[in-house]
């Protein structure tokens, strides 16, 4: 399986994901206008520029991380062009749109709290965080570096209203995400999810770790949740116990039971996904993870690892282009056998994953694409 099986746009996205992008002086000036940040290092996988290439190919391209040493792509800017931003890649130029940061980036809510403490918009999705910090201590994640705290439900709802009203980066669906709660805070987390789902007036997904029973999955379904993200992250048990010991403490079987119940409660149809980190375990183990998830009727999500400063894996290398290409092509074959797709199904939400819209509306979609080329 060689590069000939990929289009140039697919090759460009893969290169941007693992090698990042360089930014010309003209492009930097156009993006910052002297005072606006180009990016916010909120999470390792969302810290770059979010770009929209032709054909609705979304990609988050890091540009100032230590691992970005020799990018193949360069972002150019020429105001005389109909599409002023372009990427020079392997001798060709590709028009692109650069998504802005949300308009509430420096705003406070009615109580003087930073709006971004509770919500942050990525592409067409608002991510709400009931929990600041995290109860778990996964080596790849920077959430444990933050103080653990509960965000009041009224803060979450005000933050969501502000995000929904933002005209700079309009949102069309919600992801309840952020840190994993302590067991003693499960009731608070449940109440927060219920209020958000019932009052968001747009589809809501919940990202969560398995619990010892599936009752919470069933309650979320009763409240009207749209979908679930139940992230396995690593298939290899030994490595998972080293890197994500609290999450994997329940065992892979519990992940399978939780995912299977979520698929049953949502009726399938691409509403349950599970992320696998690429580059922390051998390729064959990740492929076993793809098959494990696909067999359950779940969409595997391939997320290239990016090291986060201050974490135990800060110096771990990023995966190579060759590994990403190989895993993508082999994973597509697996998912086709089981009748699922590489997730996520929302096109803009594929910006930091190894996923491509196959131009079949029954599979990949967006509530409303905002950034046509």
pLDDT of residue 55: 85
Mean pLDDT by 10 residues, the chain (373 residues): 72 96 96 86 88 93 92 97 95 96 96 97 96 93 92 98 97 95 96 97 95 94 96 94 88 94 91 97 98 97 95 94 97 96 93 82 55 33
pLDDT of res. 275: 97
Pairing label, strands 85-89, 92-98: antiparallel
Confidence (pLDDT) at 370: 41
Taking the C-alpha atoms of residue 223 and residue 192, their distance in angstroms, rounded to an integer, is 12
The model's pTM is 0.94
Determine the 3-state secondary structure of 23 from DSSP.
strand
Return the pLDDT at 363. 63
Return the pLDDT at 184: 97
Tell me the C-alpha distance between 208 and 166, whole Å: 27
For 33, 85, 211, 232, 354, the CA distances from 253, given in Å and listed in that order, are: 51, 47, 12, 11, 25
pLDDT at position 283 is: 98
Return the pLDDT at 269: 77
> Under CATH, what is the fold of the domain 115-352?
TIM Barrel (3.20.20)
* Per-domain boundaries in the chain: 3-98, 115-352
Residue 294 has a pLDDT of 98
**Which segments of the chain are extended strands (E)?**
21-23, 49-53, 57-61, 73-77, 85-89, 92-98, 119-122, 125-132, 149-150, 173-178, 204-207, 227-229, 272-278, 299-304
Phi, psi (deg, nearest 5) at residue 284: -65, -30
Can you tell me the distance from the alpha carbon of 264 to that of 228, in angstroms, rounded to the nearest whole number?
A: 12
Q: What is the per-residue pLDDT for 302?
A: 98
Longest CA pairwise span in the chain (Å): 59
């Amino acid at each position: 399986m060689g590069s000939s099986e990929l289009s140039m746009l697919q090759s460009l996205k893969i290169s941007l994901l693992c090698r990042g992008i360089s930014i010309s002086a003209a492009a930097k000036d156009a993006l910052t206008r002297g005072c606006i940040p180009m990016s916010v290092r909120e999470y390792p996988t969302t810290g770059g520029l979010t770009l929209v290439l032709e054909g609705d190919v979304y990609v988050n391209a890091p540009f100032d991380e230590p691992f970005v040493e020799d990018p193949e792509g360069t972002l150019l800017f020429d105001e005389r062009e109909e599409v002023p931003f372009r990427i020079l890649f392997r001798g060709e130029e590709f028009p692109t749109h650069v998504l802005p940061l949300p308009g509430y980036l420096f705003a406070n809510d009615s109580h003087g709290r930073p709006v971004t403490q509770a919500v942050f918009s990525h592409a067409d999705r608002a991510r709400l965080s009931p929990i600041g910090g995290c109860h778990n201590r996964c080596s790849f994640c920077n959430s444990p570096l933050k103080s653990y705290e509960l965000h009041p439900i009224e803060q979450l709802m005000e933050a969501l209203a502000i995000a929904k009203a933002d005209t700079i980066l309009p949102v069309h669906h919600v992801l309840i995400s952020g840190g994993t709660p302590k067991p003693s805070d499960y009731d608070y987390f449940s109440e927060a999810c219920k209020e958000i789902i019932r009052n968001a007036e747009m589809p809501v997904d919940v990202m969560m770790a398995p619990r010892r029973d599936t009752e919470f999955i069933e309650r979320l379904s009763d409240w009207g949740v749209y979908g679930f993200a139940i992230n396995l992250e690593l298939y290899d048990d030994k490595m998972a116990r080293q890197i994500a010991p609290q999450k994997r403490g329940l065992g892979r079987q519990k992940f399978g039971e939780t995912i299977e119940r979520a698929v049953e409660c949502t009726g399938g149809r691409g509403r349950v996904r599970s992320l696998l980190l690429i580059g922390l375990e051998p390729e064959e183990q990740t492929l076993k993870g793809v098959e494990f998830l696909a067999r359950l009727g779940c969409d595997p999500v391939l997320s290239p690892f990016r090291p986060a400063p201050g974490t135990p894996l800060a110096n771990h290398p990023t995966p190579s282009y060759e590994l990403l290409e190989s895993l993508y092509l082999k994973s597509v074959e697996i998912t086709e056998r089981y009748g699922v797709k590489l997730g996520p199904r929302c096109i803009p939400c594929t910006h930091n994953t190894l996923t491509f819209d196959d131009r079949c509306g029954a599979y990949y979609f967006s509530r409303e694409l905002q950034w046509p080329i």
